């Protein structure tokens, strides 16, 4: 999940409260990462959040460096 650093305080406050709620409950089996993207607002970060999300999801399958090996 991501939030934009240039959001209004009221909007950002809701995002931060949601993050605290998720983090405090620690649902079993949930892989979760929260990031505020500096200089962005909610509508300006979709592509970055999407690519970062894919990297996060596939990180366990990706090699540390270099091209991926074929199974």
Say if residue 65's pLDDT is above 70.
no
Residues 20-51 pLDDT 10s: 999 899 888 888 888 888 877 777 778 888 88
Domain ranges, ordered by start, for the chain = 23-60
Percent of the chain with pLDDT over 90: 6
pTM of the model: 0.61
Say if residue 2's pLDDT is above 60.
no
Question: Would you list the DSSP string of the chain?
Answer: -EEETTS-HHHHHHHHHHHHHHHHH--TT-----EEETT--GGG-HHHHHHHHHHHHHGGGS-SSSSPPP-
Sign of CA dihedral 27, 53, 38, 13: negative
């Amino acid at each position: 999940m991501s939030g934009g650093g240039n959001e209004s305080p009221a909007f950002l406050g809701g995002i931060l409260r949601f993050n605290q709620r998720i983090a405090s409950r620690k649902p079993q089996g949930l892989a979760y990462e929260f990031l505020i993207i500096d200089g962005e607002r909610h509508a300006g970060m979709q592509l970055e959040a999407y690519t970062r999300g894919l990297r996060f999801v596939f990180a366990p399958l990706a090699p540390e460096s270099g091209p991926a090996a074929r199974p």
